[in-house]
């Protein structure tokens, strides 16, 4: 409990850096465990792509690279009607022609953008 806190719904919250084991138990005796490592927050974030051009219907994958730390990364599109992004995985799906900015953000507020241009299939 000094490293992480778990609420009644199973949500895990980091308290401090370190390692911990979470055990979930059912009323009839089944158990599952998960090892959790809480590391320092990253100093910066970068992406495998700073810009990408896609045809409508095409997909691409953004991958975040964290410097000297650990974090969850969330992805958001400035225009999901042009380019949809999976907020957890960074998978892009080109929806319609135009442009959009995809922003990847760490839990401690570090962010980076990728410019997406979607063109018609001809």
Give the pLDDT confidence of 11-26 residue by residue, as tens digits.
888 888 899 999 989 9
Q: What is the pLDDT of residue 103?
A: 98
**The CATH number of domain 44-119, selected from 3.40.50.300, 3.20.20.140, 2.60.40.1080, 1.10.20.140:** 2.60.40.1080
Report, as an integer, the average pLDDT of 79-108: 97
Domain ranges of the chain: 4-38, 44-119
Confidence category of residue 122, pLDDT binned at 50, 70, 90: low
Q: Chain centroid to CA 3: how far? A: 22
Question: Strands 12-14 and 98-106: what pairing?
Answer: unpaired
Residues 6+ apart with CB under 8 A from 37: 18, 19, 70
Spatial separation of the C-alpha atoms in residues 98 and 4, rounded to whole Å: 43
Give the pLDDT confidence of 43-72 residue by residue, as tens digits.
999 999 999 999 999 999 999 999 988 888
Q: Which two tokens stand for residue 37?
A: 């490592």
Tell me the whole-structure pTM to 2 decimals.
0.75
């Amino acid at each position: 409990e000094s490293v992480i806190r778990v609420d009644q719904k199973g949500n895990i919250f980091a308290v401090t850096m370190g390692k911990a084991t979470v055990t979930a138990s059912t009323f009839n005796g089944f158990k599952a465990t998960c090892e959790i490592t809480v590391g320092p927050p990253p100093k910066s974030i970068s992406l495998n792509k700073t810009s990408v051009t896609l045809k409508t219907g095409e997909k691409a994958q953004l991958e975040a690279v964290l410097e000297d730390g650990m974090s969850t990364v969330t992805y958001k599109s400035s225009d999901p009607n042009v380019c949809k992004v999976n907020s957890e995985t960074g998978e892009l799906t080109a929806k319609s022609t135009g442009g959009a900015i995809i922003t990847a953000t760490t839990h401690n507020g570090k962010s980076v953008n990728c410019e997406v241009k979607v063109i018609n299939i001809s």
